[in-house]
């Protein structure tokens, strides 16, 4: 039974790793198209015929960055008579005052900007966006989260991609304002680069369904309305709407050369909460839309890639399972109760899955940075950090499957001040943190046992689990000490 469960878990991990390998090959084959330069249209010079654009900024208790994002969107370069800005503010703290002051300031300078308040937070972010859509005048809707800082020419770079009336959404690539702040932010930047520079680019180039990433993108209003509008039935309203729109026949574009920078979480608790939200919401979207996807008149390849996209987070519970079973399986083999050498020979072939993950990150870094070779030295830490979230993300999947409803939890921002001095820093110890510590000790015990047995070939794989869970545990301890004992 141990061997069967372990083999099943490895098969799942290999499936998604091989798909990353496939997307890497698609990316290489179509690399010339990834930047979106094929879109040759330009904005008309006559402001009277330029499309009306509404910029929406959903905010909830973002006092530390509210001023920055309001000022950034107020500075967008676009004809003022064809641009309106909505600050969709559901805040309950002093963010309201900061936003009101900045909105008032820009209104006196002639900017068409409004401070939109609701009596409650029904629907959370999706509810705020739906409320703003009902009030706005734009035929196109640009969206930014509070942690983003768009360049003034964002709209001028992105709007030409709507030269085709069948294009319903255009997504920019995320950049990073604070990638070098710590190992944690470097890890996140590395992983996000892999998602945007390779996965999004490959899905776009291959003609597969891709997603709006919730921010730094522009929607055609008709597309939103035709797809059924914003819905709060999942925690990833952006992914939900993306698939509903593409199932309706709308096409999306990804402009890899159009970068919009954002602040990365410096607090591992904030990062864990963000990953939890993305994992749970994606799983909820899969449960909601996979049936529709397979009943749709789409090519088989689109259905397969869409399924792998929506279910990608299922790797996390299987990572936990492999962590728990790897050392015991080897100990049983050494005691004469294992499945035999042929089994382990087949398991060795599963390294092709790791190759897919590695190449995806390699090609992403190479496409973005001249010093990509030096950056790839950080790959083991990226793999450790990704795997280290397995327990928390497994809990997210379990809640989604059980249809356990949870509120939308925003990711706290801290700007330039030390994160542990922020009012939004989490200072409690959660059960998940204890679980990660237990998995770290368990993995170390397994490594010691395999060393004593002389199972040298298995040590590198076991060391990966040790690295993953000791990384998150040490970061948990470090941050707990800072929040409790550092002023």
Catalytic amino acids?
90, 238
Largest Cα–Cα distance in the chain? Answer: 81
Pairing assessment for the beta strands 53-59 and 83-89 based on DSSP bridges? parallel
Question: Which DSSP string do the residues of 32-79 spell out, in sequence order?
Answer: GGTT-TT------S-GGGSPPEEEEEEESS-TTTHHHHHHHHHT--S-
* Calpha distance 240→301 (Å, rounded): 20
Structure tokens at 321: 């399972």
Partner residues linked to 237 by β-bridges: none
Backbone angles phi, psi at 305, to 5 degrees: -65, -35
Return d(Cα 88, Cα 106) in angstroms, integer: 16
C-alpha dist (Å) from residue 412 to 54, 64, 270, 294: 25, 9, 6, 37
DSSP 233-301: SSS-HHHHHHHHHHHTT-EEEEEEEEEEEEPPP-SHHHHHHHHHHHHHHHHHHHHHHHHHHHHSS--HH
3-state secondary structure of 172: strand
């Amino acid at each position: 039974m141990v061997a069967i469960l372990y083999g099943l878990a490895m098969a799942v991990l290999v499936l998604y790793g091989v798909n990353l390998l496939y997307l890497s090959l698609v990316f290489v084959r179509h690399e010339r198209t990834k930047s979106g330069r094929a879109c040759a249209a330009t904005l008309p010079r006559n402001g009277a015929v330029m499309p009306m654009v509404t910029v929406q900024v959903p905010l909830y208790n973002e006092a530390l960055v509210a001023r920055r994002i309001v000022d950034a969107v107020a500075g967008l370069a676009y004809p003022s008579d064809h641009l309106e800005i909505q600050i969709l503010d559901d805040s309950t703290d002093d963010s309201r005052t900061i936003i009101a002051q900045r909105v008032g300031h820009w209104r006196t300078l002639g900017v068409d900007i409004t401070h939109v308040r609701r009596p409650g937070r029904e629907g959370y972010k999706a509810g705020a966006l739906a409320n703003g859509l009902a009030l706005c005048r734009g035929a196109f809707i640009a969206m930014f989260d509070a942690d983003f800082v768009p360049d003034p020419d964002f709209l001028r770079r992105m709007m030409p991609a709507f030269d085709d009336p069948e294009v319903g959404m255009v997504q920019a690539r995320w950049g990073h304002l604070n990638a070098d702040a710590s190992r944690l932010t470097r890890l996140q930047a590395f992983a996000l680069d892999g998602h945007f520079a390779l996965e999004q680019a490959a899905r776009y180039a291959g003609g597969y369904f891709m997603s709006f990433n919730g921010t730094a993108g522009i929607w055609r209003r008709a597309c939103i309305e035709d797809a059924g509008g914003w819905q709060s039935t999942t925690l990833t309203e952006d992914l939900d709407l993306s698939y509903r729109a593409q199932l309706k026949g709308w096409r999306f574009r990804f402009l890899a050369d159009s970068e919009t920078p954002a602040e990365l979480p410096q607090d591992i608790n904030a990062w864990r909460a963000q990953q939890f939200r993305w994992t749970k919401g994606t799983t909820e979207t899969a449960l909601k839309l996979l049936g529709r996807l397979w009943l749709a008149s789409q090519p088989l390849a689109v259905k397969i890639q869409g399924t792998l996209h929506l279910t990608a987070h299922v790797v996390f519970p299987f990572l936990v399972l492999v962590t728990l079973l790897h050392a015991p399986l080897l100990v049983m083999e050494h005691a004469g109760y294992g499945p035999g050498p042929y089994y382990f020979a087949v398991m060795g072939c599963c390294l092709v899955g790791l190759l897919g993950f590695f190449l995806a990150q390699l090609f992403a870094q190479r496409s973005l940075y001249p010093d990509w070779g030096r950056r790839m030295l950080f790959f083991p830490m990226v793999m450790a950090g990704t795997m280290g979230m397995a327990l928390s993300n497994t809990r997210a999947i379990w809640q989604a499957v059980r249809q356990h409803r949870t509120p939308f939890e925003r990711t706290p921002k801290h700007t330039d001040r030390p994160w542990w001095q922020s009012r939004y820093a989490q200072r409690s110890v959660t059960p998940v943190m204890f679980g990660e510590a237990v998995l770290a000790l368990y993995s170390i015990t397994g490594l010691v046992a395999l060393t004593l047995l002389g199972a040298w070939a298995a040590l590198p794989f076991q060391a990966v689990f040790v690295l993953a869970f000791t990384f998150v545990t040490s970061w948990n301890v470090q941050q707990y000490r800072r929040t409790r004992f550092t002023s």
